[in-house]
Every structure is written in structure tokens, then in C-alpha cells.
Amino acid sequence: MTGHTRPHILITGAAGALAQQVINRLRDTCDLVAVDFREQVDLGADIPSYRIDFTKRVFEDLFRRYEFDGVIHLGRIMSSQGTRMSRYNANVLGTQKLLDLAHKYGVSRVVVLSTYHVYGAMAYNPALIDEDAPLKGAGLSSDLVDSVELENLATIYLWRYPDLNIAILRPCNIVGPGVRNSISTLLESKRAPVLSGFSPMMQFIHIDDMADALVLAYTNQGHRGIYNVAPADWVAYQHALKLAGCRRLPVPSIPPVLPRTILSLLNLRSFPPYLMDFFKYPVVIDGQAFARDFGFKPRRPLKEIFRYYRESKT
Amino acid sequence: MSITSYLRDLIVPKSLEEQIARVDKPIGSLGYDPWGYNNETIKFGFSLVKPLYEKYFRVTAQGVEHVPAEGPVLIVANHSGQLPIDGVLIGYALASRAERPRIPRAMIERFFPTVPYLGNLLNQVGAVLGDPVNCAKMLANGEAIIVFPEGVRGSGKLYQDRYQLKRFGNGFMHLAMKHKAPIIPVGVVGCEETIPAIANIKPLAKALGVPYAPVALPFVFPAKVHLNFGEPLYFDDQELPEEQVTERVEQVKAAISQLIDKGLSERKRLF
């Protein structure tokens, strides 16, 4: 710790809706610096904001200037964006640079946002997957390699540098106003593809609850490690679409090459072929450890989440 | 009124709705649990199984009261009859009992989740992928779980081998010991005669990616089914070498064998 009266926190991925929610929760009690590799975001006079590439040398100047106590790393390029190479550079190499600098400049708390996609979707997944389950995502799709590698990297730093006090959060589907990921785009749309005969169980967390979870993970510094973040509530994918007011667009599901070809031809950002198995097989995670260690209790029920999407269509 | 709610009103009687409502099941706000069980689908399933249980297979269930009203429990039975009819009938027997009904879960073969429609449907009526993690988590959740330790060795056996118990896996015993779950042995008599198979075409099964390809009539015979539930067996959770765990498994197997003999002696005729 650098002994500031108010903690100095670097928040990455500032252009995203989730980061802005986190910033709003922390701005009264912390001195924040926001960065994003996509754009410079105007967050008011009290929060310096930068568009910066983590792999460039100028990034280190921020650590020198602001003497960060903590880092909340939300700046990931999602698997539905960019090329494999650009995602690898930003997500893996960028994160490595960030963690190296955090270690060099004495940061005492790092929260890393990961995704449940790292577990991979396959028919043999048990339900309520624990944090110590193997990460099969990379083996099942090369488009998820960067997500798994980011985690592996953060895990290596978690054990090699205990002083960084790293908490890695693996949330289920983050949804709600302003969220631009693939599942939120699907729920927003009037018609959403479904694989005929498959309606896997899914979990959803409202962006407000996820922002609360990130703030709890930052402020409750007594626990480090890897945590799933998901409410203890579940719904089948096709039922979720119905509640969100989406009409279902059935895609033939067998043989597997058929839906893959159709989805490649459709080229939907919200339903990319490599995420196809997540709409076929369940990846249900167990969020009990996070709820217990951090006192986390989501406030937004599933019905409220889907009501938002349904009403946004009228 | 949607088609689904119209069909539900048509198929699901009021008394059955009340019966399901009496079952204490840990589910989320939309009626699902993590394994895909759905409170609405189970009502349809229950309504469709009722005539099969009462009229077609004319099931006689004895000792169903031995299953505890709550808490983790493993219901361990012999497996037979090519299709998992035995699991469905055991489940119905427990869900329809007058006092403290329970909706048990059944562990299913690994290829079911890959089958469109059927995989989801089985999950919605309580069946779960046969995985030790699933079983452990469900026991921790206080569920009643139907287990067939013979697996496909039992369900795929030929008619000439009927009522001969095949090798039991030890997995269920480890889970029962770890979670302090009592074991209820069940002897199923009658399911062997529902789809009698005279041969198994292994190359065809391999080509289709299914556990077995029986040579049998494409018909389910209305054999009368006897279910005999035994008294609970309790096993402590001490660390044991695998050999002694196998001995405990053999105790369960012997109890099931006795219950099968009881069912066979009670049976007056096949149909």
C-alpha cells in the first residue's frame, strides 16, 4: 500500500457499460483512473481517462504518476470481437504487461474479470461446475484460447506474486442495459437462433449485480483466488428467449456440421459458430464460494432481467 | 390461452397438481434446478406415466415407505429391459406415494445429452447425466437419486441372462459413504420381460454410437412389474481400501438379489 487516504484504482475497459457501473460505485470513495484500448471515455473532471494500448511503454507512466493501490481489470476484447491475433495481443499480452507493472509498482489488490466460457460447453459437463474444474474452452474452440490463456496467466501471477492479492472472477452471462456481449444482443433481438431440440440451462447476472460483485471483490481484500459468480437461479435458453419476447429461429442441429455451416453463412456476431455449443450444452457454474466469502447476494431476479428485454422491444 | 397451458389443463388433473405441489424441491424462481429439472414438465410426465404405471404395467410397489421423507438417499436397483422403464416406474412409485412424496433423480447414460429433444426432455423430468460430480452435488442438495450400478451391462443384457445381476460399479458406495446417504435396495421384477432381446449387434451399436443394439421386437410387452423396496442400509464414512468398499457393494447386491427373489416368488404370471 502507498498510504493514500483514498485508494488509487486503475480501471481498465472503461468504455464498457460494466466498467462505468463500477466507476459510479467507487468514484465517491476512491481516486480512479480509467483506461480503454478502444476509445477515450469522458467520465468527468475528477476521473482521468486515457485511450491506451497496454503493451506500449507509455502505459507504465500511469503507474508512476498515479501510484495505484489497486487494479480492476475489465478490459477484455470479447470472443465475438476482433481477430484471434488482436484478441491474443490485447487479452493475453496486454494483461501480462498490466500484471508486471502492478507487481513492479506495489499494487496490493488486482481483480480480473474472466468468463464462464473458459470451462467450455460439452455434453459431458456436470452441473454446478466448481472453480477447480478443468478449463476445456481452449480445447473445444481455438477462438476461446485467449480467454483461457488470460486466466492461466492471471493464475500464474496469483501464486507467484501473492502480494498482488489477485481475485479472478468468472461470471455467467452478464446481461442488462448497455451490455453489448453476444447473449445480451440475442435477448435484445426480435428473432434469435436456437438449435432444434437443444435448450441448455443457463445462468444470467444483471449488470448491476455484477458491478456490485466486482466492487465487493475489490473492497473485501481478505480473499484471493478464483471465483465463479452466478446467482442460484437457472433457466433453459429457449424459455429465456420466450420471457425476453424473442421469436425463436430454429436451426437444424444434427449432424453438427450443418448448424456450424448455417451459422458461418449467417455470420451473426451474437451467435458465432464457435459459441454454438454454449447454445447446445449447459455450462452451469456454482457461485456459492463467492457468495459465501464475499457476502454476495444478487438483487435482480431473472424475471426482472427478461422483463427489461421484453419491454425494450415495445 | 397458449397451447401449452391448454394441453396442461387437458392432461394434468387438479389432484396431480396438488401432489406435485406437496413435493419439497429446491428450484429457482422460474421452476428449474441446475440440472434442468422443470416443475411444469414433471406434471406432464407424471400424467403420462400414470396410465402406464397403473394400467399397462400394473405395478405393485412394496416398501416404498422405506425411502426417507427427506435428505440425501441412494435408491439402488437392478437394471433391465433395454429401455430405462425401471427407472421411470421407481420414480413414479416414490412421487405418487401418499405420505411425503419425493421426486427422485435418475442418472442416465452419457450419450443422452447429445440426442436432440430427448436429452432436454429427460433432464426436465429429473434425469441427470451420470457423472460423479452431479451425483455428489445432488446428494449435497438433499436429493433422492436412483442408481443402477450395473449400468448398460444390466439394461443391455439378453433375455437368457434375465435376473442375473451383472458386476456393480463401486462409485455409488463411495458417494453414499462420503455424503452419509442411506442406500435403499430395490428389486425390480417384470422389466426383463418388457423388451426381451435375443442378441446384441455390437458392430451396429458401435457404428451408431449407442451402448447396444438389441435384436428384439419393436414392441414393449405389458409385463406386470413388481417393485420391492428394502430397508435402508447405512454405511459409515471411514477410509477403506477398495477391497472393503467392494465388500460393502456386495452386501447391497445381495440385498437386491433377495428382493428380486421375493418379487419372482410373488409373481403369479408374466403378464
The tens-digit pLDDT sequence of chain A (314 residues) is 556 789 999 999 999 999 999 999 999 999 999 999 888 888 888 999 999 988 888 999 999 999 999 999 998 876 667 777 888 888 899 999 999 999 999 999 999 999 999 999 999 999 999 999 999 987 777 788 888 999 999 999 999 999 999 999 999 999 999 999 999 999 999 999 999 999 999 999 999 999 999 999 999 999 999 999 999 999 999 999 999 999 999 999 888 888 888 888 887 877 888 889 999 999 999 999 999 999 999 999 999 999 999 999 87
B209 — contact with chain A (CB < 8 Å)? no
Alpha carbons B216 and B200: distance in angstroms, whole number: 9
Burial class (CB in 10 A: 0-12, 13-18, 19+), A306: buried
- In this complex, do A127 and B32 lie within 8 Å of one another by their Cβ atoms? no
Q: Between residues 166 and 205 of chain A, which touch chain B (CB distance below 8 Å)?
A: 195-201
Q: Choosing among B2, B3, B4, B35, which should be mutated to test the A contact, i.e. which has the most A CBs within 10 A?
A: B35
Are the beta carbons of A233 and B119 separated by less than 8 Å?
Answer: no
| A59 grid coordinates | 502505459
Any chain B CB within 8 A of the CB of A123? yes
Question: Which residues fall within 8 angstroms of residue A212, CB to CB, at 6 or more apart?
Answer: A25, A296, A298, A299
Angle separating helix axes B171-178 and B242-266, nearest 10 degrees: 100
ipTM for this prediction: 0.90
Beta bridge partners of A72: A11, A111
Q: Which three cell numbers stand for residue B176?
A: 453414499
Select from B115, B118, B137 the Cβ nearest to the Cβ of A127. B137
Q: What one-character-per-residue DSSP string does A265-279 give?
A: HHT-TTS-GGGGGGG
* CATH superfamily to which A8-177+204-233+284-299 belongs: NAD(P)-binding Rossmann-like Domain (3.40.50.720)
d(CA A168, CA A154): 7
Specify the pTM: 0.90
Please tell me whether residue A182 adopts helix, strand or coil conformation.
helix
> Do B214 and B82 meet the contact criterion of CB atoms below 8 Å apart?
yes
Chain B, 84 to 113: residues with Cβ < 8 Å from chain A are: 110, 113
Q: Check CB contact of B222 with chain A, cutoff 8 Å.
A: no
Q: Please answer yes or no on whether A201 and B36 come within 8 Å at the CB atom.
A: yes
Nearest CA distance, A233 vs chain B (angstrom): 5
Contacts of A303 in chain B (CB under 8 A): 29-30
User: Considering Cα of A161, then A162, then A165, then A166, what sign does the dihedral take?
Assistant: positive
Predicted confidence (pLDDT) per residue in B117-142, tens digit: 989 999 999 999 988 999 999 999 99
What phi, psi does B187 have (nearest 5°)?
-105, 120
Q: What are the tens digits of pLDDT across the range B45-82?
A: 889 999 999 999 999 999 999 999 999 999 999 998 88
> Which domains does chain B show, CATH number per domain?
3-266 (3.40.1130)
Q: Which amino acid is at B35?
A: W
Give A 216-245 residues with CB within 8 A of chain B.
Answer: 232-236, 239, 243
Would you call B114 an interface residue with chain A, using a CB distance cutoff of 8 Å?
Answer: yes
